[in-house]
Amino acid sequence: MTRTALVLGAGMVGVSCALALQKRGIAVTLIDRKEPGRETSYGNAGVLAASSILPLNNPSLYAKITGYLGNRHPALNLSWARAFSRPGWLLRFLWEARPSQAKARIVALQALTASTVERHRALMAEAGVSHRLRETGTIKLWRTEAGHDAARAEHDFLKRHGIESQILDRQGISGLEPSLNPIFPAGLLIPCVGSVDSPGAVTAAYAALFAERGGRIEQAAITGLARNGTGWRASTVTGSFEADIAVVALGPWSGDLLKPLGLDPWLDVERGYHRHLKPQAGTGLSRPIYDVDGAYYLAPMEQGFRVTSGVDLSFRDAPDEHRQIDSATASAREAFPLGEVVGETWRGARPTLPDSLPIIGEAPRNPGLWLAFGNQHIGFSTGPITGELIAAMACGEKPPIDPMPFRPGRYIR
């Protein structure tokens, strides 16, 4: 019987795992080198993406690949040195974009994202941060007349999967967001999507709730993980910690800890950037908006209006590359009356796997070692359901959704 657990990683996924295990009466120690919510979970657009059911590598990727590979689109910056260092990963990513592969992954992603807003709403109420939640949807926007067809196609796709959306013309967009400059002839409102005004603060509030309920939080760099009899021991720069089970939820750093155990997941990294800008006086947004052609989110945040960049496929720890965030900032200024930049440009890294699905489950050949990473750009959204999956399986309960699509054995032998 599991009585104690180590959760390694204090982002949204790790904190959610800690809370879910704690709810089942398990004494949990949460360990991270930084304070909860200060890495990947800090820098996203704060979107609770209940409609993000289409894998990044879907069949439409093939038509766009020339522009992407030539770094001619702000949605992607590809480091060729990085690509050539792991050619098998890139080829598998492209292979997984086939229509025959995409259908099952859409089903899996919908199961993972369907309860996103509901689960966060409940946790925010428990953590006393319900005021940070907006349930006003999100709007996708297109800058050309061709956007009408794109909006219709996405509307029809979502409708086939039971997700409501509303096609907008220029007047409809202005009616919902009058502060936007009238440069978008087409849009799509997706009402089921939620958002928050500070994803880092929400993650920290969940961690505080965990601590209030008796959970232990240790801020220390993790240097190793090893089996300890029938349990597990995590070594850190300040000492070691032991428990019956361990959960690795270190996002893009998960592979660093697992490789010494002979576990080498096909894990790669999507880097991303954000900047905060002040809105001009008398302007505002009621919800995050996504400029499809500009490849950025503009989201109202506690710190200002957050502009996020496209995906930067470079080495995880390579120097910053600001081409995309500079482009996104310029595009956002065309769309909205923004003022001065507030603070520094932020860079983070998201964990990604070739099939656009996370790894959630027990590690092969290592009883009691549970893995929860690879949630890509929806980790903040899907942290709570990931935590429930891990806790249910670790405690021998029926999981809330089918865990098979996320099994670690897909990429760890």
Q: Which residues of the chain have pLDDT under 70?
A: 67-72
**pLDDT for position 264:** 94
How far apart, in whole angstroms, are the C-alpha atoms of residue 74 and residue 272?
Answer: 12
**pLDDT for position 71:** 66
Return the exposure string of 22-50: e unless at least 16 CB atoms fall within 10 Å of the residue's CB, then b.
Answer: beeebebbbbbbeebbbbbbbbbbbbbbb
Provide Rg for the chain, Cα atoms.
Answer: 21
Residue pointed to by tokens 């908006």:
289
How far apart, in whole angstroms, are the C-alpha atoms of residue 324 and residue 275?
Answer: 11
Q: How far is CA 234 from the centre of its chain?
A: 25
Tokens of 1: 């019987």
How far apart, in whole angstroms, are the C-alpha atoms of residue 210 and residue 183?
Answer: 45
pLDDT one-digit tens code per residue, 34-53: 999 999 999 999 999 999 99
Enumerate residues 6+ apart whose C-beta is below 8 A from 236.
Answer: 31, 218, 220, 221, 222, 223
How far apart, in whole angstroms, are the C-alpha atoms of residue 412 and residue 358?
Answer: 12
pLDDT one-digit tens code per residue, 348-407: 999 999 999 999 999 999 999 999 999 999 999 999 999 999 999 999 999 999 999 999
**pLDDT for position 72:** 66
Tokens of 283: 């302007």
Judged by DSSP in three states, 41 sits in: helix
Domains and CATH numbers, the chain: 1-52+113-129+197-263+354-413 (3.50.50.60), 60-96+268-352 (3.30.9), 138-191 (no CATH)
- Does the predicted TM-score (pTM) go above 0.85? yes
Query: What is the full DSSP assignment across 150-215?
Result: HHHHHHHHHHHTT---EEEEHHHHHHH-TTS-S--SEEEEETT-EEES-HHHHHHHHHHHHHHTT-
How far apart, in whole angstroms, are the C-alpha atoms of residue 372 and residue 389?
Answer: 9
Sign, CA dihedral 31-33-34-38, equals: negative
**pLDDT for position 242:** 98
